[in-house]
Structure 1
Amino acid sequence: MIKARSIHMCSLATGISLVAPTLLSAQEAAAEAPSYLSQNTGDILWYLVAAVLVFFMQAGFALVETGLTRAKNACNIMMKNMLDFSFGVVAFAIVGYALMYGDSIGGIFGWSNGFFFMKDALMVGDDLASTNLVAAEWLFQVVFAATAATIASGVMAERTKFSAYIFYSIAITCLIYPVVGHWIWSGDGWLAAMGMRDYAGSTVVHSVGAWAGLAGAIVLGARKGKFDKEGKPLPIPGHNMPLATLGCFILIVGWFGFNAGSTLGAVDDMAYIAMVTMIAAATGCIGATMSTWVKFGKPDLSMTLNGALAGLVSITACCGSVSIIGAMAIGLIGGIIVVFSVLFFEQKLHVDDPVGAVSVHGICGIWGTLSVGLFGSTAIDSGLLSDGLLYGGTAQIGVQLIGILAVFVFVFPVSLLLFKAIKATSGLRVSESEEIEGLDISEHGNEAYADFQVYADLPEEDLA
């Protein structure tokens, strides 16, 4: 037994003597590694995770918009979301990123960063680590651009020419969105210089998409059968509420990348921002549910889904600036606002917005951006000009108002001119017969639900 133990101890000692140099070499290599590598790699990893989550929101938008519209247009909705992504990536790579993050020209737009895939910023040289970080940043930014573009898809659903929509998608991704982004997010933009705070894009992303969609809806006009001769809105129910509900849950998941990813690196604030994002989604859902329950006597699912999204849009600008109680209030109010905003646009302004996107992304985008100046705390966000109005500060609310107005004054008229130009040239709206038949057949030659037949309008004797 003693001999066996001695042999075992000798073997162990021999093994340690063989492994020790390897361990020491690994420690020495780690000591010699660049000090930035760990944080740099963490930042790249978080950029990639967040970008994937935000990209997944495209699936959420596609499902929400498809579920809230009619079955005969389902393929068209899906196609528009696919092409928003595809053309958006190329347009942002060639032009959009340079306009958004290039060296500033008067605080209005960027330029010297180089066009065509940021050639000055992404040329692979000796510093591969820095190049990879820029690539990760670009990937995160391009999915934001695609999100702004796809918001208008729902507003203009069921009557827009597919070719016209592609032209719009390119224009917003390579021009309209990047200019607004430069104003607020580039660091050199004129609104950024004033101190405007829009942490993850209630205005930069959501309001931009909504104001463009509003312009498109006005130029297009309402869907056939949406309003009667007296102008009273008539219901056109969506064909698949489970699909819309699944899309809403996907959007909630994606929003963690949207908001928490806007830390622009792997930092401690990620967890707090994710928490207040979840809270606002929940209270927004509750606010819309209670509002419809009181107003209509029954809680409405479509409004409830929009309430959750309204809470998310509302917290997006202020997720890095407000307390937990503030997040609860902001989401709750956003959920209430969206219900009455949808009714106002439909009943008073006669704007046909099939999915309520103008209210969710535009009006709640305004509310979220204002919330920075109302609920913001310098104890949480040292970058604020002052505490919010509810804490006695006044400077921040004024700058937020200027930013909201400036973005609307730029985006809405430019989009209006764009859609009028498309209408006057290639045409913006499908023909009446194509609209009645459905855009799936007329625009794509596809059916979302092939081999299914609808019997609801047939006499009972024909159903036997």
Structure 2
Amino acid sequence: MEALQSGADVFFVLVGAILVFAMHSGFAFLEVGTVRKKNQVNALVKILSDFGMSTVAYFFIGYGVAYGVSFLASAAEISGMTGELFAANGYDLVKFFFLLTFAAAIPAIISGGIAERAKFGSQLLATAVIVGLVYPFFEGMVWGDTLNFQGMMEAMFGAPFHDFAGSIVVHAVGGWLALGAVVLLGARIGRYRKDGSAVGIPPSNIPFLALGSWILCIGWFGFNVMSAQAVDGASGLVAMNSLLAMVGGLLSALLVGRNDPGFVHNGALAGLVAVCAGSDIMHPVGALAVGAVAGVIFVKLFVVCQEKWKIDDVLGVWPLHGLCGLWGGIAAGIFGLEALWGLGGVTFLSQLVGSLIGAGFALVAGFIVYGVIRQFLGIRLDEEEEFRGADLSIHKISAYPEEDLTMK
């Protein structure tokens, strides 16, 4: 029975890892459908290359930073066949795979904000630094024992900081890192007129954008439900809360965004981002409310960010992941309370302070990482390369090469 349980846990976490890995294709197609045709190849190559760089950085450095574990030992040892450090059936290896897909989501999130004008090599370097050092440091604070962060939170505010599936650890950190990168990059050429008014750049392909959203929504149930990391921890409550938060986000975005397809498909994601932290402790009605608020946050702040503050965040990753993630972390301390039909075990102050620490940490880190790289290597394509498009400037081929030949 013990061997069966161990094998079931390995399979459970592996399925979760595969589902979240599949979400990276969702990130790619969401970006492909949003950027202009001349930058679609770059979006696809960038997301996949970032995943490769994330894997290497997290395997050799990041996982050890977060959890103090190194896989530089014999295959027999790391697969649990000998010794007591690693669990049986290679459980720790599939756990690494699962948590890697979370870590690699950080550069995938950032990619959408810096699209159409970022240098390819500089972004790969930023990915290595972020996934190897920056993200795992905060990951270890919340999901490990780095700096005794959780012990201090419980001592000061009556409960540890609760982030079941990463509203703060993954999404807010990714979104606030992206804000620093986007601000340092500056707006795309032609995005704003001399008088400061915005020039509309519509999505290039709504079906691709929608496909990206659908893939992300489906994979998200692995993101949330499999965060239990063991079969006996799987909960239908997490699945139901994820579903209702997703629906709440898309319906509120549909209403506030006046039927705009971009807002609707991203509104569903906003609800899922927000529910991650408290999906295991909220009542479904609370999850619906959290998702609905997140949908409004995304639509309203996307418009303000682009048109009033002149922050050219192409996919709106700061409002979507940064702000909705921040809301989700705080919301777990509201709708997770027993007074609102939640399971309890959280306090509002712990959630508020922990969420703000995560956002602040990521914002500062974003400015430091991208600021240093900008100083020494540069982070933006030159004007001619940006005008030509990242596809031809970096990858020497467009998304529609047959059309290019026909035009010639």
Asked if Structure 1 and Structure 2 have the same fold, meaning a TM-score greater than 0.5 normalized by the shorter chain, the answer is: yes
Pick the structure with greater CA Rg. Answer: 1
Q: Quick one: which of 362, 377, 388 aligns to 1:426?
A: 377
**Which residue in 1 is equivalent to 2:103?**
145
**Which residue in 1 is equivalent to 2:156?**
none
Compared with structure 1, are the counterparts of its residues 118 and 92 closer, same or farther at alpha carbon in structure 2 (3 Å cutoff)? farther
Compared with structure 1, are the counterparts of its residues 207 and 214 closer, same or farther at alpha carbon in structure 2 (3 Å cutoff)? same
Which amino acid counterpart does residue 122 of structure 1 have in structure 2?
I
**Which residue in 2 is equivalent to 1:122?**
78
Q: Tell me the CA shift for residue 129 of structure 1.
A: 5.5
**Which residue in 2 is equivalent to 1:226?**
191
Q: Does 1:89 align with 2:89?
A: no
Q: Considering Cα pairs closer than 8 Å and 6+ residues apart, tell me whether 1 or 2 has the greater RCO.
A: 2
TM-score by length of 2: 0.92
Matched residue SS, 1:451: helix
User: What is the CA–CA distance in structure 2 between the aligned matches of 1:184 and 1:270, rounded to whole Å?
Assistant: 21
Of 440-449 and 187-196, the range deviating more from structure 2: 187-196
User: What is the CA–CA distance in structure 2 between the aligned matches of 1:179 and 1:115, rounded to whole Å?
Assistant: 18
Asked if the contact 2:79/2:92 (under 8 Å) is kept, the reply is no
User: What is the CA–CA distance in structure 2 between the aligned matches of 1:243 and 1:184, rounded to whole Å?
Assistant: 35
User: What is the CA–CA distance in structure 1 between the aligned matches of 2:124 and 2:368, rounded to whole Å?
Assistant: 16
**Which residue in 2 is equivalent to 1:205?**
170
Q: Tell me the CA shift for residue 380 of structure 1.
A: 5.1
Asked if the contact 1:121/1:134 (under 8 Å) is kept, the reply is no
Matched residue SS, 1:447: coil
Asked if the contact 1:306/1:356 (under 8 Å) is kept, the reply is no
Which amino acid counterpart does residue 270 of structure 2 have in structure 1?
A
Alignment of 1:47-86 (within 5 A): 47-86=13-52
Matched residue SS, 2:112: helix
Q: Tell me the CA shift for residue 223 of structure 1.
A: 0.2
Q: Name the count of aligned residue pairs.
A: 396
Which amino acid counterpart does residue 394 of structure 2 have in structure 1?
E
Task: Report which of the two has the higher share of helix.
Answer: 2
Compared with structure 1, are the counterparts of its residues 361 and 229 closer, same or farther at alpha carbon in structure 2 (3 Å cutoff)? same
User: What is the CA–CA distance in structure 1 between the aligned matches of 2:342 and 2:14, rounded to whole Å?
Assistant: 26
Q: Tell me the CA shift for residue 125 of structure 1.
A: 4.3
**Which residue in 2 is equivalent to 1:322?**
282
**Which residue in 2 is equivalent to 1:403?**
354
**Which residue in 2 is equivalent to 1:272?**
237
**Which residue in 1 is equivalent to 2:305?**
345
User: What is the CA–CA distance in structure 2 between the aligned matches of 1:203 and 1:118, rounded to whole Å?
Assistant: 35
* CA RMSD in angstroms, aligned pairs only: 2.2
User: What is the CA–CA distance in structure 2 between the aligned matches of 1:225 and 1:121, rounded to whole Å?
Assistant: 56
Asked if the contact 2:79/2:90 (under 8 Å) is kept, the reply is no
Give aligned-pair identity as a percent: 33
Matched residue SS, 2:94: helix
Matched residue SS, 1:267: helix
Q: Tell me the CA shift for residue 124 of structure 1.
A: 5.3
Asked if the contact 1:184/1:190 (under 8 Å) is kept, the reply is no
**Which residue in 2 is equivalent to 1:354?**
314
Asked if the contact 1:318/1:376 (under 8 Å) is kept, the reply is yes
Deviations along 1:29-76, whole A, 9 cap, x unmatched? xxxxxx412221111111000000000000000000110110100111
Deviations along 1:237-265, whole A, 9 cap, x unmatched? 11111001011000001100100011111
Compared with structure 1, are the counterparts of its residues 191 and 347 closer, same or farther at alpha carbon in structure 2 (3 Å cutoff)? farther
Which amino acid counterpart does residue 155 of structure 1 have in structure 2?
G
Matched residue SS, 2:381: coil
Alignment of 1:298-313 (within 5 A): 299-313=259-273
Q: Tell me the CA shift for residue 377 of structure 1.
A: 3.3
**Which residue in 2 is equivalent to 1:15?**
none
Q: Does 1:216 align with 2:186?
A: no
User: Unpaired segments of 5 or more residues in structure 2?
Assistant: 154-159
Asked if the contact 1:283/1:308 (under 8 Å) is kept, the reply is yes
Which amino acid counterpart does residue 257 of structure 1 have in structure 2?
G
Asked if the contact 1:162/1:443 (under 8 Å) is kept, the reply is yes
Which amino acid counterpart does residue 161 of structure 1 have in structure 2?
K
